[in-house]
Every structure is written in C-alpha cells, then in structure tokens.
Amino acid sequence: MKNIAVIGAGTMGNGIAHTFAQFGYKVNLIDISEESLDKGMKTISGNLDRMVSKEKISEADKEATLNNITTFTDIPKGVKEIDLVVEAATENEDLKLKIFKQLDSNCSATTILASNTSSISITKIASVVSNPERVIGMHFMNPVPIMKLVEIIRGYNTSDKVTKSIMELSENLKKVPVEANDYPGFVANRILMPMINEAIETFYNNVAGVKEIDTVMKLGMAHPMGPLQLADFIGLDVCHSILEVMYEGFKNPKYAPCPLLTNMVMAGKLGIKSGEGFYDYSESKKAEKVSAQFS
C-alpha cells in the first residue's frame, strides 16, 4: 500500500496528507477548492519548517515530503490507481455519503475506503458502497503529525483483512491504532464530548468562570488543556455536531448540546477558526483572553 488519496485539505486533511507523505507514501490531496489546496499545502510547508527548526527532520526530508504530495480538484482523477482513500471532509453525513458514492464509482474494487469521521456511523457510510467490507473508520487526532492515536472503527461489514491492513498501516506511520466498534462517538468522543458539554453547562449555570473551569481541570485533573479551551480548539460547531449525532443515536438527553453551545454556534462564535469562542483569539492563538461576552 503506497498510493494514498486524502479528500479534504482542511486541518485534518492536510495533517493526514503531511503524515503519509513524511513516511514516504505518494499522496493525492483532493479538494474542490484550489484556494483550500493552496492553504493546505502552505500549512504543511509551515509545519515542516517548524520540524526542521527543531532538528526533527532535515531540509531534504522536508522537500521529499512536499514532493510526495500532488493536489487535485477532481475526485475521479485524484483516486485513480489508489490503494487507500482517507476521507477527511466536513463532519456532515450527507456530504460524506455523497463522497463515498463517488468513490464507489471511481475507485478500484480493491481500494480501501476510510473515513476520518469523529462520530458518524461507518456502517451508514458503507451502506452506499457496493462492497462495504472495504469501508473502515480511521479517526486521526489533531494535530495529526504529532498525536499518536488513531481510532480504527470497524463497521458492521468491515472485513478482518481490511482491519488488519489498516492497523498495520497506522503502525507504519508510528501511530498507535486502537480498534473500536461502530457506535455513536466511538470511544474518544463518546467520553470527551459529554465532558466538554458538562463544562459548558457548568459555566452556563454560573458555577464558575471560563478560566476558572479550565484551571480546575488542568491543575486538578492533569489535563493539558482545559475543556473550554479544547472546545475552541476543536471548533464549537464540530463539538455541537458530534453531540447531536450521539443524541440522535442514543436518544439519551445526557448527550443533548447545552443551549449556550447551540447559541454560540448559531452566532458564529466557533472558537479559534472564527477568532472567538470562549476565548478571544484576535491577538493570539493561545487561550489567554476570555471572550468579552464572558469576562
């Protein structure tokens, strides 16, 4: 397995492309927007520059990594003669189903089709593919080049052969693959998102302020990042979407998004990506200044 296609040049997609390319795989990075592809490649180049400055890789390693990536704005062309496709598009079920229908029509019958979804059912995604045994979840963590975990999700029909192949591939990327079954939120987000939602509820109920909640979790629970800061980092819209998937999947009110989270998403306060969430990022990408509406 040497030829990889990654669909989506956003934060996760460019990180996945970077990681595969750094380990010598030939990567086709696909996005409908030329602007997104340019931005994604600029991000990859900048991240590689930081690795060079920290002497983790050489300048030659950087150039080799960039040379391993080819960009496409067309799925049929981008997935030609590909061994593995990793879909990393927006966390939207309809969009993912549309993409996988295209993949089914344009990929070889032996191409493994993986989704980087953080919550959407792999079984549902595989239902639009003619041979669903080749569909699997490959949930990388952000930032992809740094984080070791890859959550490997087996759909109802995913074959043992495909699962074994993707587990081994993840290890070749120096990642730690952990297998999970296909239930809403899988493992990572089924545990993480209710914690983030509860932190938002705690603030919403005026138990403590933004920085106070994050400080308690960082210093008291040894979390590297407070839950409200983490929500901003992930994207409040993404958190909201995952919670809705779990709420719909389990019909359990404990997964219902906090009203404050819903309002913030509707108001466009999405965290770092929009410049404001629980913190204000207009001057720094670090969570140092609490958003004016909460201070």
Binding region for NAD(+): 8-13, 31, 91, 96, 118, 142, 273
Q: Which of 36, 68, 119, 189 is catalytic?
A: 189
Residue by residue, DSSP assigns 218-265 as: IIIH--SS-HHHHHHHH-HHHHHHHHHHHHHHH--GGGSPPHHHHHHH
Q: Which of 118, 121, 170, 291 is catalytic?
A: 118
Residue 112 pairs in a beta bridge with 84
Residues comprising the chain, all counted: 295
H, E, C per residue of 50-93: HHHHCCCCCHHHHHHHHHCEEEECCHHHHCCCCCEEEECCCCCH
206 CB-near residues (< 8 Å, 6+ apart): none
The tokens describing 271, both together, are 């965290």
| Active-site residue, 92 included | no
Q: Which of 14, 119, 151, 276 is catalytic?
A: 151
- H or E, element range at 122: helix 122-126
Q: Which of 119, 139, 197, 291 is catalytic?
A: 139
| Active-site residue, 248 included | no
Instruction: Give dist(CA 67, CA 24) in Å, integer.
Output: 10
From 76, 117, 69, select the one nearest 242 (Cα to Cα). Answer: 117
What are the φ/ψ torsions at residue 194 (nearest 5 degrees)? Answer: -60, -30
Residues 241, 262: contact at Cβ < 8 Å?
Answer: no
| Active-site residue, 189 included | yes
The tokens describing 5, both together, are 């296609």
| Active-site residue, 81 included | no
Instruction: Give dist(CA 129, CA 50) in Å, integer.
Output: 40
Place of tokens 């060079």: 52
Tell me which residues are annotated as active site.
Answer: 118, 139, 151, 189
